[in-house]
Amino acid sequence: MRLIAGFDAGQTHTSCRLALAGDGVTPAPGRVLSEGEGPGVCHLAAPEGPERFGSALRESLERAMAGVNGGSPEAVLVAAAVGASGIEQGSPVQAQGQALAADVLGLAPERVLVTGDERTALRGAFPDAAGLVVISGTGTIAVGRDGQGREHRCAGWGWLLDGAGSAMDIGRDGLALSLQMADGRLPDAPLRRALWQALELDPDDPGAPQRLKALVVAGSFGPAGFARLAPVVDQQAGAGEAGAIAVMERNAVALAAMAAGVARGLDLMGPAVCPMGGALSHLEQLRRPFSRSLEMALPGSRLVTATGDACQGALAMAAALQAGPQPA
């Protein structure tokens, strides 16, 4: 039984989906047979990056393989594609990921593709058509493809430089406002109390601002620590808190600008736009102004639902690899 694998390697967990390889001619995945999950990854350039990347692929594949005919040894992997956070096209990190994946999966290098998870998300959302995806989760990025297969990306240059539109920025912007409320630059509002309580800080303690300052620079806080506060800001915006509304509106405008940048880069007129990621999926006060801002920034565009997810996009890429010339 010849199989192909599609991986979606995120920071919290990695998913592996297995499908039949097909006839080796048609560049499309066959029937999906099984899925498995493993641990998350971090940037490959981090000290623990290669080890975590390898473990994520190995464990998720093992669990997926266990679901194929009860782990039958007759099942053989012939091609795989991996979408992972932080993989830039044509970069040394991508080359490193390719080599690691080929080694871990026991495949020839030409039967493995490692790319950014935004690329597999795009392929899953628009398998055979032009369009663009705007992804807002802990971080954010937008990428699109035209009818000739050209791709262009905007944003996603790391949380220290380019996080506008992300849950991380929403949480951080809310906290910044809370400190301005605490020191008298802004009138106090329920947003401050809600955010500080979410961080288990006493809103009435005069020493809370100093503790907040120390908390956010701790190594364990990072982008995810800010992102966890985004639902609090969203809730406050929904309750009519002016500062929270301004934060959500500003980040929605940033997301629309990313979509418009992709469309300009590809000369797309009135493209289909697929919103993806936890922030756009779950934060109502971000999603609604994003829709309004998109109409202004990219007239004629339309919001659509993804045809498939990032794992399905990775499977399509793996099928294309498997349909190429067979290795010697």
Q: What DSSP character marks residue 14? A: E
In terms of Cα–Cα distance, which of 212, 217, 218, 187 is closest to 198?
Answer: 212
Per the CB < 8 A criterion, the answer to whether 293 and 256 are in contact is yes
Q: Give per-residue pLDDT as tens, 171-187.
A: 999 999 999 999 999 99
Residue-wise pLDDT tens digits, 63-120: 999 988 765 667 899 999 999 988 988 899 999 999 999 999 999 999 999 999 999 9
How far is Cα 217 from Cα 246, in angstroms, rounded to an integer? 25
Over residues 268-324, the pLDDT tens digits come to 999 999 999 999 999 999 999 999 999 999 999 999 999 999 999 999 999 999 765
The residue ranges of every structural domain in the chain are 2-127+308-322, 129-306
User: What is the phi/psi pair of residue 226, to 5°?
Assistant: -65, -45
Place of tokens 């791709």: 151
Q: How far apart are CA 224 and CA 145, in angstroms?
A: 29
Strand pairing of 13-20 and 131-136? unpaired
Confidence (pLDDT) at 73? 66
Residue 81 is classified by DSSP as E
Assign 135 to helix, strand or coil.
strand
Nearest to 264 by CA among 90, 132, 120: 132
Question: Which pLDDT does position 88 carry in this prediction?
Answer: 87
The number of beta carbons lying within 10 Å of the beta carbon of residue 97 is: 27
Quick one: CATH architecture of 2-127+308-322? Answer: 2-Layer Sandwich (3.30)
Cα separation, 45 vs 286, in Å, equals 32
- DSSP-assigned beta bridge partners for residue 302: 272
pLDDT of res. 53: 95
Q: Report the distance separating Cα 78 and Cα 1, nearest Å.
A: 10
Cα–Cα distance between 99 and 113 in angstroms, integer? Answer: 10
Q: What digits encode the pLDDT tens for the residues 238-260?
A: 999 999 999 999 999 999 999 99
Pair 36, 61: CB distance under 8 Å: yes
Spatial separation of the C-alpha atoms in residues 294 and 45, rounded to whole Å: 35
pLDDT at 86: 83
pLDDT at 30: 82
Find all residues with CB under 8 Å of 106, minimum gap 6, and list them.
77
Model pLDDT, residue 326:
42
The pTM assigned to this predicted structure is 0.88
pLDDT at 57: 97
| H or E stretch at 236 | helix 230-238
Look at residue 265 and tell me whether its pLDDT is greater than 70: yes
Mean pLDDT for 189-215 is: 97
- CB contact burial 172-181 (16+ within 10 A = b; e otherwise): bbbbebbbeb
Q: Can 2-127+308-322 and 129-306 be said to share one CATH topology?
A: yes
* CA distance from start to end of the chain: 20
Q: What is the pLDDT of residues 119-156, one digit of tens each?
A: 999 999 999 899 999 999 989 999 999 999 999 999 98
Q: Where are the beta strands (DSSP E) in the chain?
A: 2-9, 13-20, 32-39, 76-84, 112-116, 131-136, 140-145, 151-154, 272-276, 302-303
Tell me the CATH class for 129-306: alpha beta
How confident is residue 49, by pLDDT bands cut at 50, 70 and 90?
A: very high
